[in-house]
Chain A
Amino acid sequence: MSDETLKQQLAQIIENVIGTAVEHDDLLIESGLVDSMTAVDIVMAVKNEFGCKVPPTEIDEHLESIDALAAFIQASRG
């Protein structure tokens, strides 16, 4: 899957969870768009969709933005 497709899919997942459109470089946690509860939903959706699990202690790091999350998913797929 291309990087761009992955990011578009992530944008859709996140929009479904937070009810707001997001750009690939929006700061998700720092801006307040994603809080601790919606982060849980995003992590669960990513696990279901892509089969990779964001460790609970690294949520702030990998959910920083769609770009960061896409990089994490690509890296964990190897």
Chain B
Amino acid sequence: MHFDFDRCQFADLEHNADAPALRDASRVLDWAGLQLAVEAWQLRASAAGIMPGTALVISGHKQIEFVVAMLGCLRLGVTYVPLDSINPPQRLQRIIELVGAGHYYDAATDRFEAGVAQATPLAEADLAYIMFTSGSTGDPKGVQIGRDSVALFAGWIRDCLGLGARPTFMNQMLFSFDFSLFDLCGALALGGQCVLCPREVIAAPLDFVGYLADSQVQVWASTPSFVRQQLLNDEFDAAHLPHLQVFVFGAESLTPTLANQLWARFPKARIINSYGPTEATCSTTWIEILPPLDAGTQPLSIGRAKPYAELFLVDGELCIAGDHVMRGYLNRPDLSAAVLFEHNGKRAYRSGDLAEIDEHGRVFFHGRRDDQIKLHGYRIELGEVDAGLASLPGVSAAATVALRRPDGTLVRMIGFVETLELPAATLGPLPTALADWKQHLASRLPAYMIPSELLACGRFPGTLSDKVDRKRLAALYQETRLKRPKETQ
């Protein structure tokens, strides 16, 4: 059996119905069981009053029920909005309001809960999902992806990657991030198995390897950061995970060093690098990385365009055209107009990524043209973190800086709050009222958006256009650390 994303239905019903389809920390569900569970869920959703053409927020973390609900929505023509429980309740509520969802489904309790009083029909038809990404003004923006775009994505995994029959995928990325769809769509479209890995399993390295070995995982998709963490565990190798054959990376830069470290542990593994913004359905380019690689020689390509995607540069900015490009940001025609345009009769998206395309069509990434960063694979608008910091008690202005190494790679975020107690452009300790700033911020922002440090600063250094000069703030931080007096007491 498999799930046909073109028609949004289960297909090939008589084959391998008893093969495992989904696994989570508590159970395994076979394909026949999955089909039954989705049908039963659809009946309950309809009985709860969830209508096609509206949005349903799904909240949870790596439960089989989460996937059942996503498939149920696709079958019913309901647009799902996936939200991992890493998001604080305040953000969940805000997103329920933004999408006008009459309900949300809690995958942890398997219950439908009340959303807004009157569900708002979505203006855009045939949407598979709306995924929220960081918004520079502080409000997350909803990327609307069509059902046809998801079918194209699933077709690419099925037809282009040579993953074999019915492969088993590891699924670790949060469902709030679209790269998590790689494992799900791949496993479902190919009639394989998707192994959901909750954070409590991942947190215990030996258990995690045991869980993956027991499930005979063959395909691994993650950020490079995540795999790097696994390298601390000596058991993360081909001897303990003999079925693991393919690594797929995305969401941040893959380095030759990491690829070589991985081959040292898994000498026969294939490594695929991929790139694509959420606005263009998970991924737009891909390339197989082939050994041997000279470490440190040159950055790896993020790939060539997929069959259904067209890529071109406008003033160095990478533009993406094709049916996999989003239908716009939810209820934000202003934001949509700024990035969407038509190209050869297709929707096209200005990515904000600076790039170079060589004569073989290979794309090389050269950074961003705005204040968006990718920290350990998480996409963050510094403006959204600024807005979060500005909501702290007694704070009127705040700025966030991405600290980089001399080679330009990102290390972490540092927050600054403006204070009149200090001379202009001088750093100092936080006022005592902000002692519990991390807890405050956690009620508003997911953990990956919380800066590692927060400092007070006299009047912020400004740019000519009167914006906060983030570069100057970063330099100020480094200078202050270098010349600070010994203050051991």
Contact = CB atoms under 8 A, between A and B. Distances in A.
Nearest to B229: A40
Interface residues of A, number: 20
A37 B453 contact: no
Contacts of A32: 412, 451-453
B228 A37 contact: yes
**Overall SS of chain B's interface:** mixed
B482 A21 contact: yes
Interface in B345-386: 376
23 contacts: A17-B405, A17-B411, A18-B403, A18-B412, A19-B411, A20-B478, A20-B481, A21-B482, A23-B486, A25-B488, A32-B452, A32-B453, A33-B452, A35-B452, A36-B229, A38-B412, A40-B228, A40-B229, A40-B231, A40-B232, A41-B228, A44-B231, A44-B232
A41 B225 CA distance: 10
A26 to B, nearest CB: 9
A16 to B, nearest CB: 7
By size class, the interface of chain B is 20 to 34
A56 B205 CA distance: 8
Interface in B402-417: 403-406, 411-412
Pairs of residues from A and B, 10 with the lowest C-beta to C-beta distance, nearest first:
A32-B452, A19-B405, A32-B453, A19-B411, A56-B232, A21-B482, A40-B229, A21-B481, A37-B376, A56-B205
**Overall SS of chain A's interface:** helix
Contacts of B405: 16-17, 19
A2 interface: no
Nearest to B487: A23
B233 interface: yes
A63 interface: no
A38 B481 CA distance: 18
Interface string A11-30: 00000111111010100000
A76 to B, nearest CB: 16
B8 to A, nearest CB: 38
A57 to B, nearest CB: 8
A43 interface: yes
A5 interface: no
Contacts of B404: 19
Interface of A: 16-21, 23, 25, 31-33, 35-38, 40-41, 43-44, 56
Interface string B94-123: 000000000000000000000000000000
Contact of A37 (B205, B225, B477, B482): B225
Contacts of B376: 37
Nearest to B451: A32
Contacts of B225: 37
A43 B232 contact: yes
Contacts of A44: 231-232
A33 B453 contact: yes
B367 to A, nearest CB: 16
A18 B452 CA distance: 12
A11 B481 CA distance: 14
Give the most central of B231, B452, B477: most A CB within 10 Å. Answer: B452
Given A17-B411, A32-B453, A36-B229, 15 more contacts: A19-B403, A19-B411, A20-B477, A20-B478, A21-B482, A25-B488, A32-B452, A37-B228, A37-B376, A38-B412, A40-B231, A41-B228, A44-B231, A56-B205, A56-B232
Interface string B414-453: 0000000000000000000000000000000000000111
B416 to A, nearest CB: 13
A38 B411 contact: yes
A29 to B, nearest CB: 10
Nearest to B454: A32
A41 B451 CA distance: 19
A52 to B, nearest CB: 14
B305 to A, nearest CB: 30
A47 to B, nearest CB: 9
Given A31-B453, A33-B452, A35-B412, A19 B228 contact: no
Contacts of A56: 205, 232-233
Contacts of A43: 232
Contacts of A21: 478, 481-482
A72 to B, nearest CB: 15
B447 to A, nearest CB: 11
Contacts of B477: 20
Interface in B457-489: 477-478, 481-482, 486, 488
Contacts of A37: 225, 228-229, 376
Nearest to A18: B411
A31 B452 CA distance: 8
Contacts of B406: 19
Nearest to B474: A19
A20 B404 CA distance: 9
A44 B403 CA distance: 21
